[in-house]
Structure 1
Amino acid sequence: MTWAWALLPAVAVYVAALRCTARPVLIAVALALLGGVGMAVVYGVTARAAVGGGLVAAGAVALVWSAGRWRRRRRAIRSAAIPRQAVLKLAADTARNRLAAELHDVAAHRLTSIVVSTGAAVHLADPTMAAQAAQQALTAGRIAVAELDRLTTAGPLPDTLAEVDFLVSEFPGVDYRREVGTAPAEVVATVYRVVREALTNATRYASGARIQVRIDGNHDEVTVAVVDGGGCRAEVDGGSTVVDGGGCPVELGGGSGGGSGSSVGLRLGSGWGLAGLRAAVAAVGGTFTAGPEGSGWAVRACLPVSGPSPPRDRGVPLDGVAPALAVATSIGFSLMSDEAPDSFASIVPAASLLLVLGLHAVSLVSRRRAPGRSLALALVAFLLWLGFDSLEWTWAPANDAFLVLWWVELVLVYTAGVARAGWHAPAAVAVIGGAVLASGRGIVGDRVGAAGVLAVMVAGPTFAVWAIGLWVGAVRRRRQAAAACSRAALDRSTADAARAEHQRVSAGLHRSARRHAEAVVQAADAGKLALARVRARAGLVALRRLLMDLRDDPASDDIPPTLAGIPVLARRRQAAHRQIGEPRAVSSVVEVSAYQAAETLVTDGSVITVAHLGSGIELAVSAPTRPDRRLRGMVDAIGGRVTDDRDGTIRVWLPDPAR
């Protein structure tokens, strides 16, 4: 019956380790242990014996807690399944969406400018304007063909601000000034995209109005502002008609081969415009605004030059259970012992004992990262103990301590075996262990011979544990190699799926928008302005249809729980996504946990930053929903943490021991 009552706390701690987060449970256990020590003193147990018993109980709790936490992590790893087909579909969808966004940004503004200029020239029947419109249509058509070819072949993005100058020069009458000489490539690409989309919208919705473009900045940031003074705009079913140079509507119906006679060809409400700009600016750590200003419209972006700085790498959590067990049990049994002399009766013996016990226990902290150095530190602690014995600085014999604490050396030898350490590791333990055991007061005669015999006795179990570690390490490496091969195969399949989707979309692009862009070039080169207008308008119709076909349905498929799925989740929830660091392969449990954390925290208007660090992944979500108990438990199960900054940002740290 006594054993049954003793097992109840152990079962409670084990269950708590399986189901609860670490901090409240550890606080509760510490309070319970302190209460138990206090009750023991109240019922007549000496304070020394009560503290010693409390330390031994704490060591036992640490052992049970470690078993429960290990079980909890294994369950989390087994449940972290990533569906293969969903990953492949996500790769195809991502490639399609990226191409669709580029199509909207690249082809739309070229074809729109052609329709606007040619429509006004044809309507006003001005020969000079017609010649200028024909030349503009020829130039814009050729650029549109070249840019569409770049999209289908994954050509380079703009990387100098001089390309922004050339872009603005295609829009006559724009008041343009650039005060920045150079900027990083990703900033240049974003500036180019903002200016292009803003000028296209200004041409479409405020033609004839004064447009001002400013690119300013310093060594910290680049700012972009595109402001128009407003113009005449006519809405038809959510789209806009073309306006002439005076800002008045121009009817573009009719014409052979130009598609329908309505303004449907000009409506590109595909969702890739301002929302896409906002996401692109947020991806480089900038801010974006767009809205009415005076009688017109203003688009502004502020882009940091240096990019966001990576957060501090918190590292893989250190294993404090084994050191706590070593210190608690050794000191606890020493306090409970009634043998003389008493090691805690004087300052020097007590300090010497605590020093060697502390060194010996600390060796367990970094055993997985540096097993060789950890084992060396543990053996040095016993050599130091021998020196203290010879100086009579400690009254606890080293040979007795070795028998009690030998399990620490066995744990370190096992870890060294897992890491493929050589035979010298168990041999060193055997030699030093034999010497320590032979130093006991009960050994008389030839201590060297006794040390040799005792070393052989220590070597048996030590080499056996080392061999087990070698076997376990080999099994783990085979599993890791198999997982790496599976991941590499999935990556190849993912790349193939993205490539196939890109080729499919490119084929449709060649059959539709690119064919019309080539027809615009031919018509403009032949001086057939009306035909160039019709072909450009037909190209817009084809482009709109293609973009509508490419748009994914947010409710059609579930997003696979992967890091690649987080940007898709952010886009569907109208949130911004940023990435810091070069993406690297992580274990499935970290990848699934990162996605589930994002799924819990991200809401409309949030900004989620995914930082790839040396030892794990950190998610930072601004304007999130509050983390619930389920999220904290999921993160805690793999050794991570959820913290709340003062500015309201929620940070989720997910360590990956596999790294």
Structure 2
Amino acid sequence: MTSVLLWCVLLGVALLYGAAVRGTAGITVAVAAGLVAAATVVAAVRGWPPEASAGVALSAGGVGAVVWALGRAHRRRRTRREALAAHRVARARAGEAVADAVRLRMAAELHDTAAHRLTGIAVGAASARLVAYPALGESALRHAGEAAGLARAELAGARAAAPGLAAIDTLVEDWAVPGGVRYRRTAAAASPEIAAAAYRVVREALTNAARYATGARLEIAVLAGPGRLTVEVSDTGGGGKHGDLGTGHGLSGLATTVAACGGTLTAGPDTGGWTVRAAFPAPTGPAPTGPAPTGPAPTGPAPIGPAPIGPVPAGPAPLRGAWWRGRRAWDAALAGLAVALTMGASLLPGGTPAPRDFLVLGPLFVLHALPLWWRVRRPGWSLAAMLSIYPVAMAGWTPTPAGDLFLWAWWVELAQLYAFGAHHPRRKGVLAIVAVGLVGGLALALGPGISGNRTAVWAVLAAAVALLSAPAWAAGVLVGGARARRRAAETAERDLLRGRLADVARGERERIAEGLRGTAVRHADAVVAAAGKGDLQAVLDAARAGIDTLRRLLDELRRPAGADGPPPTLAGLEVLAARRQAGVRHVGDFGGLAPELEVGVFRAVEELAGERITVSYLPEGVLVEGTAARRARRRLHALADGYGGALATGGRDDVRVWLPR
């Protein structure tokens, strides 16, 4: 019978460990609960008294908690190893992804700036040629010269500061294409990212109106509402059309930009004309500071990842509070095991102390075990709470001598000393060893079998307890040192890779800029020269030629360099979002993100659908928000669970994926 029970126990442990390694945290908890219930039922069937059955349940729960935590730790290590392997493979293609990201950024910049100016030049020159009015021709020539000079500077690589809402006023005032404009702005301020996106909406709408509805009356509104900012541009439709001046990517790229700010964009026919409408979330408080997500990039080396924008939010409580899925589960498992080995064992038949003493010792056992939950975060207070039970026993208030109680529960202090060594300065660890030695030695010295000079005995026993406790702390020091060295090596490797990729980005930007100077810049110079000679037809021809060249350049820039998908890195994430035309909003600072977590963020975004995705980089981890179909949600659940994180679902397929650091 004993061998049968032993095999049943081993089978249950193997089953629980396998569930923890292969299954999700919820499935593992269900398996553990089932095994504890089965052990309790077996004890009751065998005729054990209720207190013994309770002892079996506690002991099985404590052992199950440790097995569960070990399996979950193995699952996280396996996930980390696989992610690191994927990241190492991706490093060979990281330069390719960075080059793609640079080209996509420059394509957006060129479309938003140079295409807008060249279109205005072409439409203005074409309209002036059709009207026999000298003043209009002179105005068109003057505007062509000024706009071509600005376009040339932009094509040559000059950068301007990100525009704010006030820049929209200047944009509308300088618009030289025929047709009346009614403009109204009630929004006084907005965050830099939203202001830049609103500027882009108005600029793209003006450019499209010039291409497809020349002579139409325009109505432009930038309005502030309760918690929102709305940008709307409408035209009444016009007879003149210059559709051949388009580049074909304006509205799609604009939708991505608006979605990256958390907004929505609609564009379509409206009562004979066309309306473009963008709605942005606008907090009522002071506008957050930070770099804008769109518009011209600053001078200097191009960044190798997405630009962090906006303030860092607080993580949602349902996700950040899911401690039982993450690394803190091990602390909880240790606390559960400590309760089980003390309270549970005392309730088993033949246990020591006797079950009748449970009411006295039970609270002390709980007080002694629960501080393991804070063993890393509050080690000093945790150790003090553990040691506080021994003075109670020394005073004779317990049926068990203090020395016996210490020997029974000493391993809990050893677990705390290990945490001191692994996570905290050595000075604190040495003090903790001394404290355990003094309290433990005193508890043993006050035992009933001790005779002679108890002070001398206390000194000897304290030294012995401290000496025997030191290996637990030393093991923590070794593990913590190895972890620190591994992190330092990863940081150095990451910094080296970032430097190499920054060089790749800089070289790609310089290569593209050089190509632009050799092609499209010549057309801008031709516009300036034609405007200086007063030749409207030459201005129009040069502007059209420049737009044709720009269209070909944009097609080349948007063409991926590699045949495969982007690698699972932050640079690859930027390329993935651009190819899907999805707006990914990055909040907070992604600097120092571990390689395995970088892979996890990429894979989470890869599973999401829709145009709006938010990635928030928090001190405790990364929160990825978006929408996902049912099958994708199952994969996201497994992904988050492998990282020790969590998945929360909401209405309309909304999901939030929490990946702890």
User: Could you tell me the TM-score, scaled by structure 2's length?
Assistant: 0.87
Alpha-carbon offset, residue 343 of structure 1: 5.8
Alpha-carbon offset, residue 171 of structure 1: 2.1
Describe the shift of the 1:486–1:527 C-alpha distance in structure 2 as closer, same or farther (beyond 3 A).
same
Alpha-carbon offset, residue 101 of structure 1: 0.6
Q: Give yes or no for contact 1:222–1:305 (8 Å, CA) kept in 2.
A: yes
Q: Which residue of structure 2 aligns with residue 327 of structure 1?
A: 339
Fraction of identical pairs, as percent: 41
Q: Which residue of structure 2 aligns with residue 51 of structure 1?
A: 54
Alpha-carbon offset, residue 294 of structure 1: 0.9
Q: Which residue of structure 2 aligns with residue 378 of structure 1?
A: 386
Cα deviation, 1:533-568, whole Å, max 9, x if unaligned, reads 111111111111111110133982321112443343
Q: Which residue of structure 2 aligns with residue 552 of structure 1?
A: 559
Letter in 1 for 2:538: L
Aligned pair 1:285/2:257, yes or no?
no
Q: Give yes or no for contact 1:584–1:612 (8 Å, CA) kept in 2.
A: no
Letter in 2 for 1:304: P
| In structure 2, C-alpha distance between the alignment counterparts of 1:560 and 1:43, rounded to whole Å | 59
Letter in 1 for 2:336: A
Q: Which residue of structure 1 aligns with residue 638 of structure 2?
A: 633
Aligned pair 1:158/2:163, yes or no?
yes
Cα deviation, 1:559-610, whole Å, max 9, x if unaligned, reads 111244334323333433122222232222222122222222x22x342211
Show structure 2 runs of 5+ residues with no match: 284-309
Q: Which residue of structure 2 aligns with residue 438 of structure 1?
A: 445
The CA RMSD over aligned residues, in Å, is 2.4
Cα deviation, 1:424-443, whole Å, max 9, x if unaligned, reads 22122111111122232332
How many residues were matched structurally?
A: 613
| In structure 1, C-alpha distance between the alignment counterparts of 2:601 and 2:102, rounded to whole Å | 22
In the TM superposition, 1:595-606 aligns within 5 A as 595-600=602-607, 602-603=608-609, 605-606=610-611
Describe the shift of the 1:22–1:184 C-alpha distance in structure 2 as closer, same or farther (beyond 3 A).
closer
| In structure 1, C-alpha distance between the alignment counterparts of 2:262 and 2:473, rounded to whole Å | 50
Q: Give yes or no for contact 1:559–1:565 (8 Å, CA) kept in 2.
A: yes
Q: Give yes or no for contact 1:342–1:395 (8 Å, CA) kept in 2.
A: no
Which structure has more helix as a fraction of its residues? Answer: 2
Alpha-carbon offset, residue 327 of structure 1: 0.6
Higher relative contact order (CA 8 A, sep 6+): 2
Alpha-carbon offset, residue 338 of structure 1: 4.3
Aligned pair 1:607/2:619, yes or no?
no
Q: Which residue of structure 2 aligns with residue 91 of structure 1?
A: 98
Cα deviation, 1:321-340, whole Å, max 9, x if unaligned, reads 11010011110111125478
In the TM superposition, 1:21-420 aligns within 5 A as 21-80=24-83, 81=85, 82=87, 83-149=90-156, 152-159=157-164, 161-172=165-176, 173-218=180-225, 220-232=227-239, 240-241=242-243, 263=244, 266-269=245-248, 271=249, 273-306=250-283, 309-312=313-316, 314=320, 317=326, 318=328, 319-336=331-348, 338=350, 342=354, 344=356, 350=359, 352-380=360-388, 384-390=389-395, 392=397, 394-418=398-422, 419-420=424-425
Letter in 2 for 1:545: R
Show structure 1 runs of 5+ residues with no match: 235-239, 242-262
Report SS of the residue matched to 1:320.
Answer: helix
| In structure 1, C-alpha distance between the alignment counterparts of 2:628 and 2:639, rounded to whole Å | 21
Report SS of the residue matched to 1:364.
Answer: helix
| In structure 1, C-alpha distance between the alignment counterparts of 2:215 and 2:124, rounded to whole Å | 11
| In structure 1, C-alpha distance between the alignment counterparts of 2:597 and 2:417, rounded to whole Å | 29
Q: Give yes or no for contact 1:285–1:303 (8 Å, CA) kept in 2.
A: yes
Q: Give yes or no for contact 1:417–1:466 (8 Å, CA) kept in 2.
A: yes
Q: Please identify, of 136-145 and 561-570, the stretch whose mean Cα deviation from structure 2 is larger.
A: 561-570
Q: Which residue of structure 2 aligns with residue 457 of structure 1?
A: 464
Q: Give yes or no for contact 2:421–2:477 (8 Å, CA) kept in 1.
A: yes
Alpha-carbon offset, residue 141 of structure 1: 1.6
| In structure 1, C-alpha distance between the alignment counterparts of 2:412 and 2:158, rounded to whole Å | 60
Cα deviation, 1:83-142, whole Å, max 9, x if unaligned, reads 213222222211111110110111111111111121232344543332222122122222
Letter in 2 for 1:290: A
Q: Which residue of structure 2 aligns with residue 245 of structure 1?
A: none
Letter in 1 for 2:368: H
Cα deviation, 1:128-157, whole Å, max 9, x if unaligned, reads 3322221221222223234335xx244321
In the TM superposition, 1:433-512 aligns within 5 A as 433-512=440-519
| In structure 2, C-alpha distance between the alignment counterparts of 1:353 and 1:439, rounded to whole Å | 19
Q: Give yes or no for contact 2:12–2:35 (8 Å, CA) kept in 1.
A: no
